């Protein structure tokens, strides 16, 4: 199994500026990222995600995400599902406002008292959801939670140092583009997989290629009808990698 970075939860906040609830989502996400769960979360920039940010999309495909939307349009949730995986959890500010019988948030630039209350309530909901997700096992291949009993683990003491919110684009998940039938396809974890196979002295032969494909498919969905094309593209990519490493 590939030794990937520590699992974190990605927070995808609404980027809409037409409603005060959009401001609530971003301030709540920032509170979680910087104060409530700084060591367990990263932010996924929705505009960059929509524009094709490979780091953000790779993270959302590989790790659980929480979409935080302001209204029923659920732009963050829909975008995450369209370009990566269905969010592990979805939160909508309007629902929380109604459930907690708050006044309507007002002020897109400067929130009123109800808006600030909504920020705190939304941040608490996000933080609790992060705890739930990290207490369960995440099936990276299927992109969904495995429902198992939660096993208590000792948690390190939280730091008192100031922490900056981290972004999924710098989360350390390696990706690599491979040419498949003339088109570039981004594969998650491929550099690490290649490195592990090389260090295990697995040459680019057909026998080792079967195992290589099996490992890659754990982290990347490969359509059955396109598998021969993927196999050929990956074979060439690994052969290039293997010879470059050997010549060092």
Q: Over range 148-172, report the average pLDDT.
A: 42
Q: Is residue 238 part of a domain?
A: yes
Domain residue limits at 204:
175-246
Q: What is the mean predicted confidence (pLDDT) over 16-23? A: 89
- Angle subtended by helix axes 227-246 and 206-219, to nearest 10: 110
CA 28/CA 35 separation, integer angstroms: 10
Does residue 77 share a domain with residue 36? yes
User: CA angle, 162 as apex, 39 and 133 as ends, to 5°?
Assistant: 20
- Mapped onto helix, strand or coil, the DSSP state of residue 183 is strand
Same domain membership, residue 145 and residue 97: yes
245 closest CA partner among 210, 209, 198:
198
Q: Is 223 exposed, middle or buried (0-12, 13-18, 19+ CB in 10 A)?
A: exposed
In this structure, are 119 and 227 located in the same domain? Answer: no
Domain stop point among 149, 170, 191 = 170
Give the pLDDT confidence of 54-72 residue by residue, as tens digits.
666 677 777 889 999 999 9
Residues 238 and 194: their CA atoms lie apart, in Å, by: 7
Domain with residue 66: its CATH number is 3.40.50
| Higher per-residue pLDDT: 236 or 157 | 236
Same domain, 229 and 131: no
> Which residues are within 8 A (CB) of 87 and not within 5 positions of it... i.e. 6 or more apart?
12, 64, 65, 66, 67, 76, 77, 80, 81
Note if the pTM is more than 0.75. Answer: no
Residue 61, domain member (yes or no): yes
Which of 170, 200, 224 terminates a domain? The answer is 170
């Amino acid at each position: 199994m590939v030794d990937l970075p520590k699992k974190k939860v990605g927070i995808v906040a609404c980027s809409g500026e037409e409603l005060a609830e959009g401001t609530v989502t971003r301030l709540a996400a920032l509170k979680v990222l910087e104060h409530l769960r700084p060591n367990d979360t990263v932010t996924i920039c929705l505009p960059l995600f929509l524009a094709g940010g490979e780091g953000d999309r790779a993270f959302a495909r590989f790790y659980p995400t929480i979409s935080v939307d302001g209204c029923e349009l659920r732009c963050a949730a829909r975008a995450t599902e369209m370009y990566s995986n269905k969010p592990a959890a979805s939160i909508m500010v309007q629902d929380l406002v109604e459930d907690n019988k708050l006044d309507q948030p007002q002020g897109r630039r400067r929130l009123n008292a109800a808006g600030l209350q909504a920020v705190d309530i939304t941040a608490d909901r996000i933080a609790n959801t992060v705890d739930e997700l990290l207490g369960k096992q995440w099936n990276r291949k299927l992109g969904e939670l495995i429902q198992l009993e939660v096993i208590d683990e000792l948690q390190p003491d939280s730091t008192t140092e100031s922490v900056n919110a981290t972004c999924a684009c710098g989360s350390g998940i390696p990706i690599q583009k491979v040419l498949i039938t003339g088109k570039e396809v981004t594969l998650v974890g491929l550099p690490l997989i290649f490195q592990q196979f090389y260090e295990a002295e697995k040459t680019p032969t057909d026998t080792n290629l079967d195992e290589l494909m099996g490992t890659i498919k754990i982290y990347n969905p490969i359509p059955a009808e396109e598998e021969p094309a993927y196999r050929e593209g990956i074979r060439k990519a690994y052969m290039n990698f293997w010879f470059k490493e050997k010549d060092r």
